[in-house]
């Protein structure tokens, strides 16, 4: 998997473009092209069908504690500002950011170390002046090579690095500590920090800027919510926020859903929609964008069954990615350690994928599955909550009143059968549609060889999408543009088009037409040839096995329907 090749294919064939590209692009924003929009819609459609539309509430799904009901919602992006105050986003949805004093770039504080591992100058510097020792934790350092690098290549690659700006001064501190460092085992992380530190006695060891090697400021807080105003006046009272997650729209409508439908606990509410986060360091293609789409479920259940439901959703969501083609070698389910858990949660797991841009052994989050207990419903009922010992209590301001007042609406659930009144617990599987789309794209990319139009083996690029996700389901070709073949092919195309996204192509040698479809992941190519005119059969070629079968024209749509289930 080579990220550069994937990005270039995505642009060349119309999967993903940079937003506002003709004006130089806008960092953190992306557009989906004609094929990309089909792929992403298929990802969202597969999710919706599996979670909502196709859910059978009459049977107990494998592994589930019981039957359950499932409904959907589509909420507005801008909501009452109190929603974000009670949910905690207004006070807590902060990242710590650091700015580079030399190149002025901004970084999320917790991204600096992972970014350094991928940084071009850091990798080049380490390669030039270290050699691996007994273990990766015990490299050997060559200070002459480091000095040389700083005077030559470093000037271009890392102009902000202390070692480049003042090689002698910077190396002096390292030389002094080197014997003791080497005896205890010296790591590349530590070496990089020495290279970034001019005055160790004053500043301590510093972490360099991943872009230019320069000095980073202390971490400062930064709220991730985009602000806007509703109405004519840009005053504080009219300030509103673009939602940073779709989940809150579900919580504030929980009572509407209960009152307008006959759902009973346990039940889930799903939503797919745009979210916005003013990410400090958008990066890794669409992985970290400022505008993205989420696919979220809030599942409401009795507190006593919530641990079992948490396990069910965690395992089921993990399987979903495997079922749609991600390989188990690149996918992992990572349970958070107790220390990592939000204070109200009794379990959170991330579903993670080894994207090609991740350093070896590292993964990027596709989806988080969290046990949220009664935190969200209580927050919207009572007001913003904080932890007090083992309890959640309403946070109060200096005047002793709630800091952010809740809706005051009763969000308890009354169970008619048990006559019990309780605030349901919530399990939240929260997935990113763009990250899933990117993972499916990366996983699908293959280079192999297949016979060309003359039957000789030739290199090909192929996207091996699961047929359900493939942007184009089948391509229809007349073998030649004469002898009545186009007419038959066009009729078949017209019939299939009513149900499937199919593509008609009569241009060029058939082998070349296959290649064009392989490159965008079309699973089947159907060719009308001379024999079709005699016995009404066509060939259907499989993208992955390259096998061609003859089937009757009448069987094509039912075969496609079967393969796309
Ligand atoms: P990260 O730690 O990567 O910032 P997060 O833990 O803040 O992610 P959540 O708040 O759990 O993410 O959001 C749920 C899902 O929404 C994520 O698993 C991811 O798929 C998606 N998501 C979150 N932020 C972004 C983003 N900036 N760009 C694209 N997708 C995102």
Residues with CB under 6 A from ligand 1: 245, 277, 279, 288-289, 292, 294, 365-368, 430-432, 434-435
Q: Which is more confident, 92 or 327?
A: 327
Q: Is the predicted pLDDT of residue 16 greater than 80, yes or no?
A: yes
Instruction: Please state, in angstroms and rounded to a whole number, the distance separating the CA atoms of residues 361 and 253.
Output: 41
Which residue's CA is the nearest one to ligand 1's atom 14?
Answer: 430
Strand partners, 407: none
If pLDDT is split at 50, 70 and 90, which confidence band does 45 have? very high
Burial label for 232, CB within 10 Å (0-12, 13-18, 19+), is: exposed
Testing ligand 1's pocket by substitution, the residue of 294, 317, 369 carrying the most ligand atoms inside 8 A of its CB is 294
> φ, ψ for residue 211 (rounded to 5)?
-85, -45
If pLDDT is split at 50, 70 and 90, which confidence band does 201 have? confident
Among candidate residues 550, 539, 434, 562, the one with its CA nearest the CA of residue 489:
539
Q: How far is C-alpha 358 from the chain's CA centre? A: 13
The mean pLDDT value of the chain amounts to 93
Per-residue pLDDT at 528: 97
Q: Is the predicted pLDDT of residue 301 greater than 90, yes or no?
A: yes
CB neighbour burial string for 204-220, b if at least 16 within 10 angstroms, e if fewer: eebbbbbbbbbbbeebe
Burial label for 45, CB within 10 Å (0-12, 13-18, 19+), is: middle
Atom of ligand 1 nearest to the CA of 432: 20
**What's the whole-number mean pLDDT along residues 322-335?**
97
Per-residue pLDDT at 329: 96
Pairing of strands 69-72, 267-276: parallel
Among candidate residues 534, 526, 524, the one with its CA nearest the CA of residue 484:
534
Atom of ligand 1 nearest to the CA of 277: 27
Among candidate residues 511, 541, 537, the one with its CA nearest the CA of residue 524:
541
Cα(65) to centroid(ligand 1), Å: 28
Cα(222) to centroid(ligand 1), Å: 17
Per-residue pLDDT at 221: 81
pLDDT one-digit tens code per residue, 181-195: 877 778 888 899 999
* 457 contact partners, CB below 8 Å, separation of at least 6: 449, 450, 451
pLDDT one-digit tens code per residue, 72-107: 999 999 999 999 999 999 988 777 889 998 998 888
Instruction: Please state, in angstroms and rounded to a whole number, the distance separating the CA atoms of residues 522 and 512.
Output: 14
Cα(478) to centroid(ligand 1), Å: 46
If pLDDT is split at 50, 70 and 90, which confidence band does 135 have? low
Instruction: Please state, in angstroms and rounded to a whole number, the distance separating the CA atoms of residues 489 and 224.
Output: 53
Q: Is the predicted pLDDT of residue 333 greater than 90, yes or no?
A: yes
Cα(383) to centroid(ligand 1), Å: 25
If pLDDT is split at 50, 70 and 90, which confidence band does 439 have? very high
pLDDT one-digit tens code per residue, 371-424: 999 999 999 999 999 888 878 899 998 899 999 999 999 999 999 999 999 999
Query: C-alpha distances in angstroms, 421 versus 103, 257, 410?
Result: 58, 17, 11
Among candidate residues 411, 361, 362, the one with its CA nearest the CA of residue 382:
411
Which residue's CA is the nearest one to ligand 1's atom 18?
Answer: 367
Q: Model-level pTM? A: 0.85
Q: Which is more confident, 539 or 181?
A: 539
Which residue's CA is the nearest one to ligand 1's atom 4?
Answer: 288
pLDDT one-digit tens code per residue, 202-251: 888 999 999 999 999 988 888 889 999 999 999 989 999 999 999 999 99
If pLDDT is split at 50, 70 and 90, which confidence band does 134 have? low
Per-residue pLDDT at 185: 77
Atom of ligand 1 nearest to the CA of 294: 16
Cα(380) to centroid(ligand 1), Å: 23
Testing ligand 1's pocket by substitution, the residue of 290, 342, 430, 433 carrying the most ligand atoms inside 8 A of its CB is 430
pLDDT one-digit tens code per residue, 477-534: 999 998 999 999 999 999 999 999 999 999 989 999 999 999 999 999 999 999 999 9
Contact assessment for residue 317 and residue 367, using Cβ atoms and an 8 Å cutoff: yes
Q: Which of 28-42, 93-107, 272-286 has the highest mean pLDDT?
A: 28-42
If pLDDT is split at 50, 70 and 90, which confidence band does 270 have? very high
Which residue's CA is the nearest one to ligand 1's atom 2?
Answer: 365
């Amino acid at each position: 998997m080579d990220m550069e090749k994937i990005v270039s294919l995505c642009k060349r064939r119309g999967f993903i473009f940079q937003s506002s590209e003709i004006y130089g692009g806008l960092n953190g924003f992306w557009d989906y092209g004609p094929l990309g929009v089909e792929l992403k819609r298929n990802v969202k459609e597969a999710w919706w069908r599996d979670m909502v539309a196709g859910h059978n509430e009459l049977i107990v799904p494998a592994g589930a504690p019981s039957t359950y009901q499932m409904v959907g919602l589509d909420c507005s992006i801008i909501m009452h500002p109190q929603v974000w105050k009670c949910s905690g986003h207004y006070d807590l949805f902060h990242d710590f950011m650091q700015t580079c004093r030399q190149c002025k770039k901004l970084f999320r504080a917790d991204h600096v170390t992972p970014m350094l591992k991928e940084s071009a100058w850091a990798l080049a510097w380490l390669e030039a002046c270290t050699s691996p020792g007994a273990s990766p934790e015990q490299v050997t350092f060559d200070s002459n090579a480091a000095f040389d690098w700083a005077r030559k290549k470093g000037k271009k690659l890392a102009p902000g690095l202390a070692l480049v700006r003042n090689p002698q001064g910077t190396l002096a501190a390292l030389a002094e500590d080197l014997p003791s460092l080497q005896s205890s085992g010296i790591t590349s992380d530590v070496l990089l920090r020495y290279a970034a530190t001019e005055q160790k006695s004053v500043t301590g060891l510093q972490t360099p800027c991943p872009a230019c090697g320069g000095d980073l400021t202390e971490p400062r807080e930064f709220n991730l919510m985009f602000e806007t105003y509703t109405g004519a006046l840009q005053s504080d009272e009219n300030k509103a926020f673009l939602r940073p997650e779709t989940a809150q729209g579900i919580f504030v409508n929980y009572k509407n859903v209960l009152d307008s439908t006959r759902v009973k606990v346990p039940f889930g509410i799903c939503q797919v929609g745009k979210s916005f986060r003013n990410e400090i360091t958008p990066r890794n293609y669409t992985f970290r964008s400022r505008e993205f789409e989420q696919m979220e479920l809030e599942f409401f259940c009795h507190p006593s069954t919530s641990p079992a439901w948490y396990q069910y959703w965690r395992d089921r969501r993990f399987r979903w990615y495997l079922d749609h083609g991600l390989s188990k070698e690149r996918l992992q389910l990572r349970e958070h350690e107790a220390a990592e858990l939000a204070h109200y949660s009794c379990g959170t797991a991330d579903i993670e994928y080894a994207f090609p841009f991740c350093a070896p052994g590292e993964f990027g989050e596709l989806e988080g599955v969290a046990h949220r207990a009664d935190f969200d419903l209580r927050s919207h009922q009572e007001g913003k909550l904080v932890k007090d010992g083992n309890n959640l209590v309403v946070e109060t301001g200096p005047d002793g009143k709630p800091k952010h007042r809740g809706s005051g609406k009763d969000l308890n659930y009354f169970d008619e059968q048990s006559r019990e009144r309780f605030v349901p617990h919530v399990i939240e599987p929260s997935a990113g549609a763009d990250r899933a789309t990117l993972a499916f794209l990366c996983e699908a990319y293959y280079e192999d060889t297949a016979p060309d139009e003359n039957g000789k083996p030739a290199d090909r690029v192929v996207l091996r999408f699961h047929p359900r996700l493939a942007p184009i389901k089948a391509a229809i070709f007349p073998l030649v543009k004469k002898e009545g073949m186009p007419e038959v092919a066009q009729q078949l195309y017209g019939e299939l088009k009513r149900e499937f996204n199919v593509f008609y192509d009569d241009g060029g040698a058939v082998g070349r037409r296959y290649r064009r479809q392989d490159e965008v992941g079309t699973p089947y190519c159907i060719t009308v040839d001379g024999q079709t005119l005699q016995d009404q059969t066509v060939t259907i070629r499989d993208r992955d096995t390259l096998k061609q079968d003859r089937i009757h024209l009448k069987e094509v749509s039912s075969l496609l329907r079967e393969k796309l289930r």
